[in-house]
Amino acid sequence: MATLWPRRERLLRVSGLCRTVRALSGKNEYDLLVIGGGSGGLACAKEAAQFGRKVAVLDYVEPSPQGTKWGLGGTCVNVGCIPKKLMHQAALLGSALKDAQHYGWNIAQPVHHTWSVMAQAVQNYVKSLNWGHRVQLQDKKVKYFNMKGSFSDPHTIRGLTKAGKETIVTAENIVIATGGRPKYPAHIAGALEYGITSDDLFWLKESPGKTLVVGASYVSLECAGFLTGIGLDATVMMRSIPLRGFDQQMASLVTEHMESYGTKFLKRCFPTKVEKLESNRLQVTWKNTDLGREETDCFDTVMWAVGRAPDVKTLNLDAVGVKTNSETGKIIVDASEATSVPHIYAIGDITEGRPELTPTAIAAGKLLARRLFGQSSELMDYDNVPTTVFTPLEYGCVGLSEEAAVQCYGSDNIEVYHAYYKPLEFTVAERDATQCYIKMVCLREREQRILGLHFIGPNAGEVIQGFALGIKCGATYPQLMKTVGIHPTCAEEITKLHITKRSGLDATVTGC
């Protein structure tokens, strides 16, 4: 008779039966269920399994509007940090080939880049990571459900497979780690029909050709940067300021270098329409606010990089009372990553007020598992988190921007040490280094505690990672001056900072 029930009635009875069985037994099927198989969710699940708990991960990738889909691992592995850094590396190799001739290498001309070769290699590596994550879960005895999940009650999740098969999973604790997805500007005609996002770019089999990247975020600048670096015609359209939330002097230097590197910029412009021509090219119409007129151009690809939205629409959060920010849609959590509902937690990009960074999600997930099952009380510390923007000339930072420091402490209480320097690697190749710049923001007091460090130049991520430990430990300017630099490196220039903005002196480094 069960097969004759209408589908909805059958689901309600099965779900109700699960809740009844749980009430009678006093036990849930799992100690921990993680919804979302990205970096944070996987880290939390694997850490919980280390304590001998019964753990499950439920993950499902909704294909992008253009049909792109991928495997286990979340944004970072599939459509974020990993493929981005590899394509950035491809662009750096192109620059190195140009430099090589100055160092005596005879490079056969003409040198050209083949997108399909790079894309296939990157995609194969990403697929190996997908498989690796599945193996790790199996090794740690974490159950993996390739399903879309939604709440039935605070301890019950209804899972739905791609084929429509339903499974009810119960857990004592549930962690939401579904991350975010790129936004489409739905108000712009043709945006959804003809545009792509970063969810698609890394999985294209053929070159995107002449590309318009709309947005001023780090995603926009990084993608436009490596597209330019591999020899494509790339244009960035920015409505307002670049790299909002980052130090704006540094952001300006980043975009100045990108322009000199070959990336075009349409500043203070916003698109109004995208049309597909008979030639299959895309004609974009936009408003130039400086000139007060409409302009058009044709592109092979239009990529939207106008922000990300939390992936919560299918979770049925309202049904269990999980509170979200009405403006951002992100889940509101406290310092322990707890939501408004007992035993339901959230970590990573989906949470309000947290940095959208893979390492913070991983750390938060591990610490949460330890608090739940390992008798730990340690909370995640979100202060002084280092990060890097992988533009052609990289920008790494840790701590406060100059603007934020002035807002917090007042301009009279801030001392900024800075320097324009030239990497040794740039000298023989005669590369322009006018945007290679270091800024250290300090409290203007006897100890001069370092509030923020900003670095633009080669290998910025490697440089900032090393100094981040000192700043996390409360390093001061005098302590840094006692640190012996490694010669000859770009990082060494940080240990030699001595000119302040306040002094008005020329901050250009000369000599060794």
The domain that contains 406 carries what CATH number? Answer: 3.30.390.30
The residue type of 81 is: C
Strand order in the sheet with 301-304: 264-267, 234-238, 211-214, 301-304
pLDDT of residue 17 exceeding 60, the answer is no
Residues 53 and 155 in one domain: yes
Domain encompassing residue 361 = 2-60+146-182+309-373
Question: Do 354 and 395 have their domain in common?
Answer: no
Confidence band, pLDDT 50/70/90 cuts, at residue 363: very high
**Domain end residue (candidates: 287, 306, 325):** 306
Kindly provide the b/e burial profile for residues 437-447, where b requires at least 16 CB atoms within 10 angstroms of the residue's own CB.
bbbbbbbeeee
23-50 confidence digits (pLDDT tens): 444 578 999 999 999 999 999 999 999 9
Same domain, 367 and 407: no
Domain count, the chain: 3
Q: Indicate if 169 and 219 belong to the same structural domain.
A: no
Query: Is 284 in contact with 302 (CB distance < 8 Å)?
Result: yes
Shared-domain flag, residues 281 and 202 = yes
Percent helix, strand, coil in the chain, to 5, is 35, 25, 40
Active site residue 418: no
DSSP 473-503: TT-BHHHHHTSPPPTT-SGGGGGG---BTTT
pLDDT at 368 over 90: yes
- How many residues does the structure list for the chain? 512
Which residues are known binding-site members for NAD(+)? 215-222, 307
Average pLDDT over every residue of 422-444: 97
Q: What pLDDT score was predicted for residue 109?
A: 79
DSSP 351-386: BTTS---HHHHHHHHHHHHHHHHS---PPP--SS--
Mean pLDDT, the chain, whole residue set: 94
Do both 35 and 169 map to the same domain? yes
Which tokens go with 381?
């510390």
Which residues belong to the annotated binding site? 85, 149, 215-222, 307, 349
How do residues 54-109 score in pLDDT, each as one tens digit? Answer: 999 999 999 999 999 999 999 999 999 999 999 999 999 999 999 999 999 999 87
Judge if 150 and 44 occupy the same domain. yes
pTM given for the model: 0.93
Position 178 in a domain = yes
Number of other CB atoms surrounding residue 3 within 10 Å: 5
Domain boundary among 322, 341, 373: 373
| Banded pLDDT at 268 (limits 50, 70, 90) | very high
pLDDT at 380 over 90: yes
∠ CA 407-411-416, rounded to 5°: 105
User: Does residue 501 fall inside a structural domain?
Assistant: no
CATH number for the domain harbouring residue 243 = 3.50.50.60
User: For residue 141, is it within any domain?
Assistant: no
- 12 has pLDDT over 90: no
Q: Which of 373, 408, 428 corresponds to the end of one domain?
A: 373
The answer on 342 and 319 residing in a single domain is yes
Q: What is the mean pLDDT of residues 233-260?
A: 98
Strands 269-276 and 282-288: antiparallel
Choose, from 112, 113, 418, 487, the residue flagged as catalytic: 487
Binding residues for FAD, as ranges, are 85, 149, 349
Looking at the structure, do residues 392 and 449 belong to the same domain, yes or no? Answer: yes
Residue 448 belongs to some domain of the structure: yes
Inside any domain, residue 129: no
Per the domain annotation, does 123 fall within a domain? Answer: no
The rounded distance, in Å, linking the Cα atoms of 92 and 15 is: 54
Residue 135 lies in a domain: no
User: Within a domain: residue 105?
Assistant: no
Residue range 344-355, pLDDT digits in tens: 999 999 999 999
Considering the domain architecture, whether residues 269 and 199 belong to the same structural domain is answered as: yes
Q: Are residues 254 and 369 in the same domain?
A: no
Q: Which two tokens stand for residue 49?
A: 């399994």
Residues 291 and 221 in one domain: yes
Digit-coded pLDDT (tens) for 434-488: 999 999 999 999 899 999 999 999 999 999 999 999 999 999 999 999 999 999 9
Share of the chain above pLDDT 70, in %: 95
- For 43-53, how does the pLDDT look when each residue is reduced to its tens digit (9 = 90+)? 999 999 999 99
